[in-house]
Amino acid sequence: MAPVLQSSQPWVEKYRPRQVKDVAHQDEVVRVLTNTLETASCPHMLFYGPPGTGKTTTALAIAHQLFGPELYKSRVLELNASDDRGINVVRTKIKDFAAVAVGSAQRQVGYPCPPYKIIILDEADSMTEDAQACLSLLIRMDNFMNALRRTMETHSKVTRFFFICNYISRIIEPLASRCAKFRFKPLSEEVMCSRVMHICNKEGLNVDAEALSTLSSISQGDLRRAITYLQGAARLFGSSISSKDLISVSGVIPQEVTGALYAACKSGDFDLANKEVTNVIAEGYPVSQMLSQLFDMVLEADDISDEQKARICKSLATADKCLVDGADEYLQMLDVASNTTRALCNMPLEFSYES
């Protein structure tokens, strides 16, 4: 691929840490991996945590640092959800890659080049259970070979797996128990601010303190999102960015809109609530976002009882699940509005005419 102009890269790529020690906020992982770099020994790893906390970045950085650019291609296999990863691929592609022996003769100056290969499986929670079971078998075989290693002289058939996922619960137990697990925490506000400031300085942006704290609150610990918003705002509004600009880029719904819906529900008038819902849909606000903002609002409201809050939250949860299943936004929003209205006005929980 021809070299690309630096400027045409999204900032997320441009400022992706290239070394493990630059990864922000994940001290535990960084400590273990720095150790790995020195001793060149490394267990199978499982990185999990919310999006935008540096999982993929860390895995790629450690692979690069271990092998250097020359050996990287032959030693590291990176598979993500954009590749087909059904059980067939595990049986053929991954197994073949793992089976090829590594000669210890090839060495790169300045890199540890340990005598094993690395397979990075990004977004592992989207793999099927069958494929995961197959993988765990592969690891068992691999560990077995590892135990035999002393008797085998020059070549060793060993592979290290790095699994990356958002939800550890979606990784089958036999696989998870074979790995060292690392949780990636959402970034704290200070860390987020210092990374963002770093980028602002490099790009010559002028961001005040208020905008910074807005940015970290709307991105909720997701650094990638924060940087994407920052770049979006910088493109749209030039080099000095206020917190209002950031909000308009981020798709956060203005407080007035949520407030109007809540007030309509509170009035107890179904038609009024319906009108507000129609408006929200026509304005194109994402309903999932609306639900979470409504949730915040309900939690903070101090003039309603716990029972009312619980009723509203229950209907929010149901609607959220339905949205994930792909249900219609308008109908779900209307159902939430109707439930909220009934909760706020102490109407009975059960429907009266249901047979």
**Using CB under 8 A, which residues numbered 320 to 339 contact another protein?**
322-323, 325-332, 334-335, 338-339
Site for another protein, residues 254 to 293, rule: CB under 8 A? 270-271, 274-275, 281-289
Half-sphere exposure of 196 (CA within 13 A, CB side): 32
Judged by CB under 8 A, which of 38, 82, 209, 256 binds another protein?
A: 82
Q: Which is nearer to another protein, 138 or 287 (CB)?
A: 287
Site for another protein, residues 91 to 150, rule: CB under 8 A? 122-123, 126
Determine the size of the site formed for another protein (CB under 8 A).
Answer: 71
Terminal-residue alpha carbon distance, the chain: 67
Q: Does 22 bind another protein (CB under 8 A)?
A: no
Cα dihedral sign, 6-11-15-18: negative
Judged by CB under 8 A, which of 35, 74, 88, 346 binds another protein?
A: 88
Inter-residue contact 165 to 111 (CB < 8 Å): no
Site for another protein, residues 291 to 320, rule: CB under 8 A? 319
Stretch that binds another protein, among 7-15, 18-26, 177-185, 192-200 (CB under 8 A): 7-15
Q: Which among 324, 256, 313 is positioned nearest to 285, based on CA atoms?
A: 256
Q: Which is nearer to another protein, 176 or 291 (CB)?
A: 291
Beta-carbon contacts of residue 33 (< 8 Å; ≥ 6 apart):
20, 58, 62
Q: Which among 188, 213, 228 is positioned nearest to 27, based on CA atoms?
A: 188
Inter-residue contact 192 to 221 (CB < 8 Å): yes
Q: Which among 224, 242, 225 is positioned nearest to 233, based on CA atoms?
A: 242
Q: Does 1 bind another protein (CB under 8 A)?
A: yes
Judged by CB under 8 A, which of 44, 113, 342, 344 binds another protein?
A: 342
Q: How far apart are CA 350 and CA 355, in angstroms?
A: 11
Nearest distance in Å: CB 18, another protein? 15
Nearest distance in Å: CB 225, another protein? 4
Stretch that binds another protein, among 30-38, 41-49, 183-191, 217-225 (CB under 8 A): 217-225
Q: Does 51 bind another protein (CB under 8 A)?
A: yes
Side chain identity at 201, as an amino acid letter?
A: N
Q: Does 54 bind another protein (CB under 8 A)?
A: no
Q: How far apart are CA 31 and CA 228, in angstroms?
A: 28
Site for another protein, residues 157 to 216, rule: CB under 8 A? none
Inter-residue contact 16 to 57 (CB < 8 Å): yes
